[in-house]
Amino acid sequence: MSPLLLLNFMFKEKVLELLEVALKENESIFLIDFTLAPGNKINIILDGDAGVTLKDCIAVSRAIEHNLDREEEDFSLEVASVGATTPMIMPRQYKKNIGRELEVKTQVGKFEGVLTDANDQGITLEWEAREPKPVGKGKITVQKKQEFDFSEIQEAKVIIKF
């Protein structure tokens, strides 16, 4: 490994260690994404069981920034929370959104419904649909329920309604 790659690897490991310590300070906050781009641009995306506050982002940022020496390694640091319409990627994100309306895309199609259950294997969505009556003309409203394994889900987002 070249000396430059070794330094970059060591810097990344140090940042990850500091991040891990910071997240242990508030276990309701969890990591969604971490990148170290060229020029030591550190980007951290967080989510939380009860959301992420500005204070949470500041605490994580300070825990990292105050323990790195800019004389040794110049860097920029950005700590942010996931956006309201950012697709969910972790089971923990689904669990915190039980009771909210989701849009779930799979290979079979797109489904919209209320997230009624989430576990480590998948989720359950429920929604109402209009279907033809079994006998006679017209339609009736029926309650639908579908379970999805995480392996089936291509993308899932919370639907924001105003």
pLDDT one-digit tens code per residue, 63-110: 999 999 888 888 999 999 998 889 999 999 999 999 999 999 999 999
The pLDDT score that the predictor gives to residue 151 is: 95
3-state secondary structure the chain: CCHHHHHHHHHHHHHHHHHHHHHHHCCCEEEEEEEEECCCEEEEEEEEECECCHHHHHHHHHHHHCCCCCCCCCCEEEEEECCCCCCCCCHHHHHHCCCCEEEEEECCCEEEEEEEEECCCEEEEEEEEEEECCCCCCEEEEEEEEEEECCCEEEEEECCCC
Give the pTM.
0.82
